[in-house]
Amino acid sequence: MQIGDLSHRTGVSPRMLRYYEDQGLITVGRRENGFREYDDYLVDRVRKIRGLLDSGIPTRIIADILPCLNREQVLVVDADPQLRAVLIDQRDKMEERIAILQHNCDALSRYIKAMERAMTGGRPDEQASS
Amino acid sequence: MQIGDLSHRTGVSPRMLRYYEDQGLITVGRRENGFREYDDYLVDRVRKIRGLLDSGIPTRIIADILPCLNREQVLVVDADPQLRAVLIDQRDKMEERIAILQHNCDALSRYIKAMERAMTGGRPDEQASS
DNA sequence: TCGGACCTTCACATCCATGTCAGGGTCAAG
DNA sequence: CTTGACCCTGACATGGATGTGAAGGTCCGA
């Protein structure tokens, strides 16, 4: 698959696909003519990268943790305590973000529901005791 | 409370506190001498802003949703369908991010556990059937 | 064989969140 | 009254993620 195909399949611009490669997030082969050749599994991988990026995780960190997100048993060979610290740190940060997002997501949902109640002709001052 | 105090209490630099004000995320009073005067409730608000920012939500969006994250019933007066669309959109995006983070967080935890198993002298090829 | 649609690299531009510095006021304690 | 710690504004700098455009190569189909 070449870059345009992957771009269409993931919604990520070719520019960004090259950038991810540059940042060491993906490894890409070349055809004889110099064109990049992308393996199928990269579709998922690129989607995962996008998700992490959208969640505020910088490429530098993604590069660190990405190898640990699949096939875990395969790579545990290098039981580097430094890496371990990084991973634990990142996991904790993720947990914190999840909590924050969950909290705000709930609040938004409540607000949306309140709007709907207000729109569908309900008395505006009626409310669930939160 | 003045800017340095709030900065210490939130871990957010004065520069950023002014920036948030500039972006309309917080409303700040002034003393007679021109110094900013911050209300106590801004400590929580600024922490919330940081959390959302760290989770990849840009100030523009935060400005949109922040008024809806507290005191919901108070503000439902303007049942603007445009706003509703924005809120639903953002809530959905948040849910997606939560799912992504949760997924990766779990994978990280598994990997960390596997590392620990490998370090504490376990046979490296033993594994839980995932 | 030509044209269009793709690819390459490289460079410059942009937006956002942030840092940092300069030039200058405020104020309280010594 | 001076000094140091705070505050103000404004500007310039930076790093990361992204867009865009130029100059050129590849390849397929009319």
Share of chain B above pLDDT 90, in %: 71
- Average the pLDDT over A29-46 and give the result: 97
Identify the pLDDT of residue B129: 39
Identify the pLDDT of residue B126: 43
Nearest to B76, CA basis, from A103, A125, A11: A125
Nearest to A39, CA basis, from A15, A61, A17: A17
- Average the pLDDT over A42-60 and give the result: 97
In the structure, how far is the CA atom of residue A121 from the C1' atom of nucleotide D15, in angstroms?
A: 51
Size of chain A in residues: 130
Nearest to A94, CA basis, from A86, A104, A106: A86
Identify the pLDDT of residue B55: 96
CA distance B100 to B81: 29
- Nearest-by-Cβ selection for A112 from B84, B94, B127: B84
B124 vs A54, residue with greater confidence: A54
Tell me the pLDDT band of A101, cut-offs 50, 70 and 90: very high
Taken in order of first residue, the domains within chain B and their CATH numbers are: 1-57 (1.10.1660.10)
* A contact residues 55-94, partner B, Cβ 8 Å cutoff: 55-56, 65, 68-70, 72-73, 75-77, 79, 81, 83-84, 87-88, 90-91, 94
* pLDDT tens readout for residues A61-85: 999 999 988 765 566 666 688 888 9
Tell me the pLDDT band of B100, cut-offs 50, 70 and 90: very high
Q: Which residue of B has its CA nearest to A65?
A: B108
Tell me the pLDDT band of A127, cut-offs 50, 70 and 90: very low
Which contiguous run of DSSP H or E holds residue B58? none
Identify the pLDDT of residue A5: 98
- Average the pLDDT over B63-79 and give the result: 77
Best B108, B117, B125, B130 residue to mutate vs chain A (most A CBs within 10 Å) = B108
